[in-house]
Amino acid sequence: MKHLMEIEDNHTVDLYSKRGIMITRGENARVWDADGKEYIDCVAGHGVANIGHCNPAVVKAVQEQSAKLITCPASFYNDARAGLIKKLIEITPENLTRVFLCNSGTEAIEAAIKFARLSSGKKEFITALRGFHGRTMGALSATHNPKYKKEFEPLIPGFHHVPFNKFEKLEEKANQNTAAVILEVVQGEGGVYTGDKKYFERVQDLCRKQDILLIIDEVQTGFGRTGKLFAIDHFGLQPDMLCLAKGMAGGLPVGAVICGEDIKLGKAKHGTTFGGTPLISAAASAAIQFMIDGKLAEQAEKKGRYFMENFNSQAIDKVREVRQIGLMIGIELKEKVQPYLMQLLREGVLALPAGNTVLRLLPPLTISYEEIDTVIQKLHHVLL
């Protein structure tokens, strides 16, 4: 397998730090490397494999749909796509009635930015410090971390970043030029910080009063991750646009913006070749049905609570704080996280960072309680 690793090392563009193992197989919350070593996967494709790796319902849907029709542009009707659109409308707040399908989180944000400009005729946006919304030029403008942005400036003008969860700071920035506010409910890449109910309610209220669109980025929090099907469901929010991606299609590339009736667009103002293909639509419909039938959001809530009850962070000197909502868990360390990620990997647990000091766990929501026990035991082993 060494020669295959060398192909990636020598012939892919130099963007990713590798962790030194080649993953060749996955099933539910576990993956295996080329040597057959088993890992509990709390990376899950960066919070993608919510319903587990190679979920049989998705495998079946892909097999069946790929033998029937794989691609079909949005200028033709398609049964699999219509089925997915119906599902998305049914599971999102009732004010959201129109769907744009694309291929990734950043594309969903990119579309939402264009839709907001087009629909409002305004050009400015308010987003949050520590917010992450993707890496294409529009989404990157909404993202906060200067580390991702500096070399790519000038970005799209008119993006104002204000402290997260501080309503007055956001209110100060809002004016007649503000097209939209773009927020995560739980900042994921930013370190697993959840905003307050009151904060979001006041933001939503302000947006309504001042004719500002509210765009909620649930690329990472959507599809059960936080213990509700969507994180907005914790607070009863009704944004004008809801951006989705990661966990939506069982691991296949997908993104969506679910819009309210007030979002006025126009023929050919935006588009995509691959968005909403029958293959991805069938996979996403199967994945969503699996989440609903298996009550995965509820499971995430219970399993997240179980983790917190058993992790006992107070006993670990290296831990500053644990922030958790559902199965979105950020363990903030008093030191750099990278060496601990490598130690965990050697112990058979894959985890990811959020910034320099936060150890983030985004396991499949289907992870078993026994697997959670093992993750806790391994965390104790490397951190104590």
Ligand X SMILES: Cc1ncc(COP(=O)(O)O)c(C=O)c1O
In the complex, the residues that contact ligand X under the rule CB under 6 A are: 46, 104-106, 109, 132-134, 184, 188-189, 217, 219-220, 245
Least distance in angstroms from the C-beta of 245 to ligand X: 5
Which alpha helices (DSSP H) does the chain contain, by range? 2-11, 44-47, 56-66, 79-91, 105-120, 137-142, 146-149, 167-173, 197-209, 278-293, 296-311, 338-346, 369-383
CB-nearer residue toward ligand X: 45 or 348: 45
Cβ nearer to ligand X, comparing 218 with 332? 218
| Residue number with CB closer to ligand X (188 or 260) | 188
Q: Any idea which residue has 């009550």 for tokens?
A: 295
Kindly tell me which of 354 and 382 has the beta carbon lying closer to ligand X: 354
Q: Which two tokens stand for residue 220?
A: 């990472």
Per-residue DSSP letter, 20: S
142 near 182, Cβ under 8 Å? yes
User: Residue 179 belongs to what H/E stretch?
Assistant: strand 178-184
CB of 235 to ligand X, least distance (A): 17
Whether residue 363 contacts residue 52, with contact meaning beta carbons closer than 8 Å, is answered with: no
By C-beta, is 139 or 282 nearer to ligand X?
139
CB of 253 to ligand X, least distance (A): 8
Centroid of chain to Cα 124: 24
Instruction: Return the residue matching tokens 């909620």.
Output: 216
Does residue 154 have a cis peptide bond before it, meaning omega lies within 30 degrees of 0?
Answer: yes
Least spacing, CB of residue 67 vs ligand X, in Å:
28
Nearer to ligand X, 188 or 363 (CB): 188
Query: Closest approach of Cβ 60 to ligand X, in Å?
Result: 25
Nearer to ligand X, 43 or 279 (CB): 43
CB environment 89-101: b (16+ within 10 A), e (fewer): eebbbeebebbbb
CB of 71 to ligand X, least distance (A): 20
Give the CA distances from residue 141 to residues 109, 110, 134, 153, in Å, rounded to whole numbers and listed in that order: 10, 10, 9, 9
Residue 17 C-beta: closest distance to ligand X, Å? 16
